[in-house]
Amino acid sequence: MDIPTFLRDNNLLSPLFFLSTTIFILFLVKRTKILVFKSIENLPPGPPQFPLIGNLLQVGDKPHVSMANFAKKYGPLISLRLGKQLVVVASSLEAAMGILKTQDRFLSSRSIPAAFQQKPLLPHSLIWSDCNQTWKNLRTLCRTELFSAKSLESQSILREEKVRQLLDFLYRNQGQVIDIEDVVFTTLLNTLSCIIFGKDMAQFADHGCGSTRDGLKESLHQVIEYGGRVKDVGSFYPMLERFDLHGLTRATKKVFDKVFACWEVVIEERRVVVGSTTWSSDHQALTFLDRMLENGFSNEQIYQLVMELFVAGTNTTTSTIIWVMTELIRHKEVMSKIEQEIQKHIISDQIPISQLSQLTYLQACIKETFRLHPPVPLLLPHLAVETCNVMNYTIPKNTKIFVNVWAMGRDPTLWDDPCRYNPERFTDLKLDYKGQDFELLPFGSGRRMCPGLPSGIKSVEYILASLIHEFDWGVPNGDDPSKLDVNEKFGIAMKRENPLKLIFKQKCYKDC
């Protein structure tokens, strides 16, 4: 591809990008000493860099793909320059282990995208903090109150109710083409908002067409969109960060303010109840909000943590379910096997959560989907707090670090016939996604590993099993299901480029 086409395709000629680049060059001219990158000894190898911009133009809109291509040429641990920012990318089992295990202590800080640079709230962050005491306390609170076996058990009735509402909605909309992502997202959002606030915060779109988005749903989509933007001049040139040239920090703040104003009412009502002399945590149905209030959280602490849980929890889980459905529609024989498995093990009308563990073939399909379509293909960006060594290369302090789990899932030295969707590879293989087996890391590993794994997996298994148990699924307009595309859109969670529109009808054994 020639450079003008590349610039046009990647929207790099947009007025905003043009303006910000011009301002940046003027800035540089004043400070000529940073025109040349300082050369650092013994960095991992990488592609040649252009002056000023480094490898920016080579990375494009699908960084997981371009970085995987670089790894094929330069090896499993590569270094790039995105503007002024030094970036190291791991793309093999050994390199991932070096980063997430051997040097985990030095490489577990975070690089914060512009959208989340909300200065007053950042000290209360779980996702974007260093591994400090606040971060430890927040992880412990979430683990015990949201993600422990006991908490999941106590959430079972609620989850069953939310899935019942999803199925009822689908029954009412049979015969229509449905945007399955929207209904799954709504279900997950309401499950989480009931756990946290004790009430629903989203509604299913009318007629299942996915075009109506209400308050919180729309706001979360916006935050996720701003947070996942690849082109962010401030993160490429840290000295420009404070100018917020793309307006992402300001735009996100606006959305946050709107959402927090609604939450404030709920929080204040509850604060009065929890603060009353008659309050006893033993005898009342507790929400996560109650727990935070009992722990003396301020409104700002609550806003930040809850927003992070919504952003991290709903989007990734939805994306997993959509990719599994995509592959099952493409592979009819795999779908049939899951149906047989469900019929064999589940005798009741609605699947009880307690019986999900028997659906081992469904679990193999989920693992195979994580391998080919990891929802967070580069994990969240890590940052080096100290200079250290990985695979005998130097990783200097303040380097931004990605682990390309998408590339690892397609590595022919780890997987036979890696591009083929073949869940059977996991039926005998004792390989899990819990952070011990470095071949498969959809949730990461080490101290920054996803704390929401038990909750996310429970939702994925339960929603998928229920959708498959109740309905037969297909593509509209008589299209060939095996030709359904798998084009990806990079973001905080990697989605399908085109929405997954499906038709569905009640299973015939359910009619009889």
64 binding ligand HEM? (CB under 6 A): no
| Block residue for tokens 């033993």 | 282
Q: Quick one: 58 or 320, whose CB is closer to ligand HEM? A: 320
The interface with ligand HEM within residues 313-342 (CB under 6 A) comprises 313, 316-317, 320
Q: Quick one: 63 or 452, whose CB is closer to ligand HEM? A: 452
Our measurement of the distance from residue 475's CA atom to the centroid of its chain's CA atoms, rounded to an integer in Å, reads 26
Please say whether the beta carbons of 97 and 219 come within 8 A: no
193 binding ligand HEM? (CB under 6 A): no
Q: Smallest Cα–Cα separation from 354: which of 189, 155, 145?
A: 155
State which of residues 166, 312, 338, 500 lies at the interface with ligand HEM (CB under 6 A): 312
Report, in Å, the least distance between residue 109 CB and ligand HEM. 10
Collect all residues with Cβ–Cβ distance below 8 Å to 132 and sequence separation of at least 6.
none
Which tokens sit at 16?
């905003």
Q: Quick one: 345 or 447, whose CB is closer to ligand HEM? A: 447
Q: Quick one: 91 or 316, whose CB is closer to ligand HEM? A: 316
Q: Quick one: 173 or 191, whose CB is closer to ligand HEM? A: 191
**Euclidean distance between CA atoms 325 and 318, whole angstroms:** 11
State which of residues 114, 442, 475, 504 lies at the interface with ligand HEM (CB under 6 A): 442
**Euclidean distance between CA atoms 297 and 138, whole angstroms:** 11
State which of residues 233, 379, 492, 494 lies at the interface with ligand HEM (CB under 6 A): 379
Residue 388 marked as a ligand binder: no
Q: For ligand HEM, how many residues bind (rule: CB under 6 A)?
A: 24
Which tokens sit at 386?
């100290």
State which of residues 342, 450, 475, 484 lies at the interface with ligand HEM (CB under 6 A): 450
State the virtual CA torsion across 219, 256, 447, 451 in degrees, nearest 10. -50
State which of residues 89, 335, 364, 460 lies at the interface with ligand HEM (CB under 6 A): 460
Amino acid at 162: K
113 binding ligand HEM? (CB under 6 A): no
456 binding ligand HEM? (CB under 6 A): yes
Report, in Å, the least distance between residue 108 CB and ligand HEM. 8
- DSSP line for 27-81: HHHHTGGGSSPPP-TTPPP----BTTTBTHHHH-S-HHHHHHHHHHHH-SEEEEE
Three-state secondary-structure class, residue 201: coil
Q: Which residue is nearest to ligand HEM (CB)?
A: 452
Report, in Å, the least distance between residue 113 CB and ligand HEM. 13
**Euclidean distance between CA atoms 262 and 216, whole angstroms:** 9
Q: Which residues are annotated as a binding site?
A: 450
Q: Which residues are annotated as a binding site for heme?
A: 450
